[in-house]
């Protein structure tokens, strides 16, 4: 058993996330928080999601959204359920009201915005609720014509103070992480991959060893034939819906090789179809709906990164992708890499992407070579931790908050004393 984070006392096995009761912002809606112990109880248990999808109209709407994005379908179903629960109305009653009195629906949405703003809900959360309801109504040909205004709708208050890691913070983060988390963070921060590329929302797909054409397994040892090593993102994994490729830096490649070679030492046979990031071997079962999958879900991948960051850093895992983009932007300003190359490596659409798709994912060899060389010139700005001395990465003493103390002690730090301001001094 291990802690999910430093503020939530709930503990779960490393991979078993689907058995945990979540709030509305989680991945699953449930009716109660009682634990079930028998197989029959678990089979008989119905979540709010199950109850919603038992309605054929809701299932049809959900399936239509899922054809484009399963994540969008899940989020909108959850938000619709939350809206109906708060307003004590069923989705079908909402449709009936929309056909009878469109103005009443508009008023209900307006009142919801007012209430949520008084409750200080984030503007983007409010927008997601309204968008989900409108989507459900539009599925029944009900158009809400009134323009719904949300105060500071584009603001992200929870991210206002978030900054990308500097060299010292990056070095400490990679030092404190285990091999799997370190490989994940390298793929996000040193190759610019989105977490869902490594493992999809439902853990049915993800990056595989065959997607790293420069990776070789020679006499049971993983190695790269060329660094920076190329990583191909298949169309099914790309958020923008197109295939593209990026590269991983020298230090990032070392993290990946260390992780893969550890798996080989534990007896795993690596093949081209093996997942790059895989569940721990001891948790092949008891993974809820993901049991038997060779991939991790996006939620589990993000949790790995958060566990490595906490309690020292309060960042989101996605801050590492922002780090990649920021460092390549600096490289662009210094003439090390072309703007179109940076956009392409981020997986965004651009002029190179258009040519890439037009040519059926084939670029001229000369251009690919130039992109590789440009990335190689830029990697020193991504591997900043190489220049940080060891004593700076691992300070002997630290001042932490009382809430953080427990986790530091679990990580092997020793308690020294309490300061007058209530903070605690620990040493390595």
- For 102-112, the pLDDT digits (tens) are 999 999 999 99
Q: What is the dotted CATH code of the domain comprising 167-385?
A: 1.10.443
Cis peptide before 406 (omega within 30 of 0): no
Cβ–Cβ < 8 Å for 101, 31: no
Radius of gyration of the chain (CA): 24
The whole-number average pLDDT for the span 36-46 is 50
pLDDT tens for each residue of 242-298? 889 999 999 999 999 999 999 998 889 999 999 999 998 766 555 567 677 889 999
Tell whether pTM > 0.85.
no
Strand partners, 399: 425
Strand partners, 216: 223
Question: Is it the case that residue 403 has pLDDT exceeding 90?
Answer: no
Residue 59 is encoded by which pair of tokens?
Answer: 């299932």
pLDDT tens for each residue of 302-323? 999 999 998 888 889 999 999 9
Question: Is it the case that residue 29 has pLDDT exceeding 50?
Answer: no
Least confident of 170-174, 323-327, 393-397: 393-397
Residue 406 is encoded by which pair of tokens?
Answer: 């427990």
Mean pLDDT of the chain: 83
**Edge-first strand listing for the sheet containing 397-400:** 397-400, 424-427, 414-418
pLDDT tens for each residue of 145-178? 999 999 988 877 767 677 889 888 899 888 889 9
Closest by Cα among 190, 187, 363 to 277: 187
Domain boundaries, given as residue ranges, for the chain: 52-158, 167-385, 395-427
Dist CA 53 CA 412 (whole Å): 47
pLDDT tens for each residue of 362-373? 788 899 999 999
The whole-number average pLDDT for the span 183-210 is 94
DSSP H or E stretch at residue 372: helix 365-378
379 pLDDT band, cuts 50/70/90, is very high
12 pLDDT band, cuts 50/70/90, is very low
Q: What percentage of the chain exceeds 70 in pLDDT? A: 82
**What is the sign of the dihedral through the CA atoms of 183, 185, 188 and 191?**
negative
């Amino acid at each position: 058993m291990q802690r999910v984070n430093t503020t939530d006392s709930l503990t779960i096995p490393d991979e078993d996330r689907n058995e945990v009761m979540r709030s509305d912002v989680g991945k699953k809606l449930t009716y109660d928080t009682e634990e079930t112990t028998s197989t029959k109880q678990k089979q008989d248990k119905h979540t709010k999601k199950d109850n919603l999808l038992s309605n054929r109209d809701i299932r049809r709407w959900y399936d239509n959204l899922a054809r484009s994005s399963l994540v969008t379908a899940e989020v909108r179903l959850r938000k619709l359920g939350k809206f109906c629960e708060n307003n004590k109305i069923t989705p079908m009653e909402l449709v009936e009201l929309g056909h009878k009195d469109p103005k009443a629906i508009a008023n209900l949405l307006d009142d919801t915005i007012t209430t949520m703003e008084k409750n200080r809900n984030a503007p983007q959360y409010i927008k997601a609720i309204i968008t989900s309801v409108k989507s459900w109504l539009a599925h029944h040909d009900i158009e809400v014509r009134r323009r719904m205004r949300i105060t500071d709708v584009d603001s992200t208050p929870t991210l206002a103070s978030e900054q990308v890691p500097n060299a010292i913070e990056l070095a400490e983060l990679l030092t404190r992480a285990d091999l799997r988390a370190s490989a994940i963070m390298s793929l996000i921060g040193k190759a610019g991959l989105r977490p869902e590329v490594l493992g999809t929302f439902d853990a049915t797909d993800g990056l595989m060893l065959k997607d790293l054409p420069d990776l070789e397994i020679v006499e049971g040892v993983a190695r790269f034939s060329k660094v920076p090593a190329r990583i191909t993102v298949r169309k099914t994994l790309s958020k923008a819906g197109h295939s593209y490729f990026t590269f991983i830096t020298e230090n990032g490649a070392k993290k990946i090789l260390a992780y893969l070679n550890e798996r080989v030492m534990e007896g795993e046979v690596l093949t081209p179809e093996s997942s790059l990031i895989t569940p721990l071997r001891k948790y092949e079962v008891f993974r809820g709906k993901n049991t038997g999958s060779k991939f991790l879900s996006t939620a589990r991948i993000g949790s790995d990164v958060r566990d490595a960051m906490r309690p020292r850093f309060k960042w989101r895992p996605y801050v590492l992708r922002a780090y990649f983009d920021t460092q390549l932007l600096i490289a662009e300003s210094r003439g090390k890499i072309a703007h179109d190359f940076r956009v392409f490596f981020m997986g965004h659409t651009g002029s190179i992407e258009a040519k890439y798709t037009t040519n059926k994912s084939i670029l001229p060899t000369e251009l690919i070579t130039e992109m590789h060389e440009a990335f190689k010139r830029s990697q020193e700005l991504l591997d900043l931790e190489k220049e940080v001395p060891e004593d700076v990465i691992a300070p002997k003493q630290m001042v932490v908050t009382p809430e953080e103390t427990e986790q530091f002690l679990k990580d092997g730090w020793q308690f020294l004393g309490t300061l007058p301001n209530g903070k605690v001094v620990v040493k390595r």
